[in-house]
Amino acid sequence: MAVNGIETTAAWRTLTALAGRSRDLHLRDLFAADARRAAGFSLAHDGLLLDYSKQRVTTEIMTALNALWEIADVPGWMEKMRAGEAINTSEGRAVRHMALRDPEPPAEVRAVLGKMRRFCEAVHGGDWRGGSGEAISDVVNIGIGGSDLGPKMATQALAACHQLQLRVHYVSNLDAAHLATTLAPLNPRSTLFVVASKTFTTQETMSNARSARHWIVAALGEAAVSRHFVAVSTNFKEVAKFGIDPDNIFEFWDWVGGRYSLWSAIGLPLALAVGFANFEAFLAGGHAMDRHFFTAPPQSNLPALLALLGIWNIDFLGAETLAVLPYSQSLEHLPRYLQQLEMESNGKRVGRNGLPLAYSTAPVVWGEAGTNGQHAFYQLLHQGGRLIPCDFIALKQPDFVLSGNTPHHAALLANCFAQSEALMRGKTLDEASRELASAGMTAEAVAQLAPFKVFPGNQPSSTLLLPRLDAYTLGQLIALYEHKTFVQGIVWGLNSFDQWGVEYGKQLAVRLLPLLEGGVASGDALDSSTAALIAACRVTPHDR
Ligand code: F6P
């Protein structure tokens, strides 16, 4: 089959027909018709429970979706990935992040893991000291995109495991406000910078790293740099040019994509935050998910189910977004992390052969930790009239317990399950009217108010219940979404591992910088809007 010919297959046509026939299906009717729906549309594996009974699917639809697994040859592509074939064709690279979490990793991976372990122990034990002899109290990771979002998300997720003697901070934004406000309370004598960049050429990271270096040199002198800077990169030449001691480089490789790099030395700040044993447990969780992904048939394969349900919602029901709603403050950064994972991987308009795709690909991924989101955007989920599939993520056991008897966790779970129930069930005009009447309202008042109290429901969601939020479970969770993204990319026939879409804006910014610094434009003339905006930024006497 041609790579992006999946829309011409009988399976795709069957799914289109099923979507047409299912337009009038309402989730509340599906539940009413089958008392065992939850059991039939859920999957438990290695402590995780995925309940997808609130998705708008039937057994017939699931069977048709599962057929895409073979038709798109997902197993064949999995093997190519595992064998180290250059499946990132537009960059000519292999995709081998799974090797980073293999209990028997390649020798070069094992060597870097050993170096990371020794470094973590030295920092935690106070053997690694700053230039003036002080132990390290604060680590600042300077990176962006995959060199920031993963370790930042995971550091927050594992807040309950933090090494108390060390605080880990993340700086990514080119805006000086990010570095300035992070450094303000820190002491240069006890601050260690991790400059994390696969290419070591990224403008944001290099600008922040240069300013951080200036901060250290101004306080402690040039000689202190080697005690206050380490680098994580694939580009030794650029790291050396920047002036970081070659002994202080933690290597990774071009076969690790930026957004899949948390498992590599990019995870160093995470390992510093939670200790190396927890980092190893994180790798073990990821590997356990790899084993499951490679062995389970699609109907009982967690990544496959998430991927195929997403394809159903996007390509057959017409959903344009996916709301990720973790009912866990510690997973606050997960939606942002998944934005890069899914949107940078699968936000593509052409297939692997360069031809335009005839269907929608990655959804707009967004979200917020519950219950905060409930007080911000859930109104639109319930009554805004758009189809917005949701991934609810909840923890069976809390990661933090406060003293006193306030039932934080039970209330959190109650809110999570109530929201997915309300989104599924909705409330009819009849039900709303009866409710108001039984509260003692007059018939006239009921008629006036009831339309505002109607909830259409039928909003699809999955709920992923994690046993707890520890390093192993987090590893499972992240690898689950990675493989989900992989399966979708294969079914959509695209290359999930390049990101040409981020290049153009970068190119134009390079051209505009001299103008904003008062110089002259090079290359083509500017459009009138860009020229006027630049002109408006010239500081005038009125600005003072
Ligand atoms: O956003 C584009 C991108 O290339 C990402 O894929 C990557 O994670 C990020 O920039 C940072 O790149 P680097 O690690 O090379 O600084």
**What string of DSSP letters covers 181-202?**
HHHTT--GGGEEEEEE-SSS--
Give the confidence band of 281 by pLDDT, cuts at 50, 70, 90.
very high
On whether the CB atoms of residues 15 and 51 are closer than 8 A, the answer is no
Question: What are the residue ranges of helices labelled H in 41-106?
Answer: 59-71, 74-82
Taking the C-alpha atoms of residue 256 and residue 112, their distance in angstroms, rounded to an integer, is: 14
| Inter-CA distances, 114 with 117, 119, 126, 251, 350, Å | 5, 9, 18, 12, 41
Decide: 188 and 119 in contact? Cβ < 8 Å.
no
In angstroms, the CA 182 to CA 177 distance is 8
What ligand 1 atom has the least distance to the C-alpha of 259?
Answer: 8
- Residue given tokens 């997902």 in the structure block: 74
Give me the pLDDT at residue 521, please: 62
Give distance in angstroms: CA of 116 to centre of ligand 1: 22
Residues 297 and 123: their CA atoms lie apart, in Å, by 44
How far, in Å, from the CA of 348 to the mean position of ligand 1? 17
Q: What are phi and psi of 250, to 5 degrees?
A: -105, 115
Q: If residue 395 lies in a helix (H) or strand (E), which one and from where to where?
A: strand 390-395
Q: 147 in ligand 1 pocket by Cβ < 6 Å?
A: yes
What pTM was estimated for this model as a whole? 0.97
pLDDT band at 63 (very low <50, low <70, confident <90, very high): very high
The verdict on whether 427 is a catalytic residue reads no
* 506 flagged as catalytic: yes
Q: How far is the CA of 200 from the centre of ligand 1 (A)?
A: 9
Q: Enter the CATH code of domain 102-274.
A: 3.40.50.10490
6-87+285-425+461-498: CATH architecture: 3-Layer(aba) Sandwich (3.40)
Nearest CA to ligand 1 atom 6: 258
Of 344, 368, 409, 482, catalytic: 344
Q: What is the mean pLDDT of residues 186-192?
A: 98
Annotation marks residue 344 as catalytic = yes
Among the listed residues 214, 241, 408, 506, the single catalytic one is 506
Contact 264 CB / ligand 1 (< 6 Å)? no
Model pLDDT, residue 235: 96
Can you give the pLDDT at residue 544? 63
Supply the DSSP symbol for 175.
Answer: S
In which band, very low, low, confident or very high, does the pLDDT at 2 lie, cut at 50, 70 and 90? very low
Q: What is the mean pLDDT of residues 330-358?
A: 97
Looking at residues 103-123, what average pLDDT do you find?
98
Pocket test for ligand 1, best of 97, 249, 346, 499 (most atoms within 8 A of CB): 499
Residue 364: DSSP 8-state: E
Pick the residue whose CA is nearest to atom 2 on ligand 1: 502
- Other CB atoms within a 10 A radius of the CB of residue 7 amount to 15
From the CB of 501, is ligand 1 less than 6 Å away?
Answer: no
CA of 363 to the centre of ligand 1 (A): 21
The 3-state secondary structure of 205-248 reads HHHHHHHHHHHHHHHHCHHHHHHHEEEEECCHHHHHHHCCCHHH
**Ligand 1 pocket residue status of 197, Cβ below 6 Å:** yes
Catalytic residue among 241, 375, 396, 408: 375
Inform me whether the pLDDT recorded for 483 exceeds 50.
Answer: yes
State pLDDT tens for residues 515-528. Answer: 998 887 666 689 99
| Residue nearest (by alpha carbon) to ligand 1 atom 9 | 145
Tell whether ligand 1 has an atom less than 6 A from the beta carbon of residue 150: no
Q: 146 in ligand 1 pocket by Cβ < 6 Å?
A: yes
pLDDT band of 1, cuts 50, 70, 90: very low
Q: What is the mean pLDDT of the chain?
A: 96
pLDDT (tens digit per residue) in 299-342: 999 999 999 999 999 999 999 999 999 999 999 999 999 999 99
Render pLDDT for 360-377 as a digit per residue (tens, 0 to 9). Answer: 999 999 999 999 999 999
Judged against a pLDDT cut of 50, whether residue 445 lies above it is answered with: yes
Q: How far is ligand 1, taken at its centre, from the CA of residue 364, in Å?
A: 19
For residue 519, the model assigns a pLDDT of 80
Nearest-angstrom CA–CA distance, 436 and 432: 6
Torsion of CA 108, 109, 111, 113, to 10 degrees: 170
6-87+285-425+461-498 matches 102-274 in fold: yes
Distance 62 CA to ligand 1 centre (A): 36
In short, whether 145's Cβ falls inside 6 Å of ligand 1 is yes
Mean pLDDT of 412-440: 98
Domain boundaries, the chain: 6-87+285-425+461-498, 102-274, 426-458, 501-537
Lowest-confidence segment of 51-55, 204-208, 407-411, 540-544 by average pLDDT: 540-544
Quick: pLDDT tens for 493-507. 999 999 999 999 998
Closest-lying ligand 1 atom to the alpha carbon of residue 196: 14
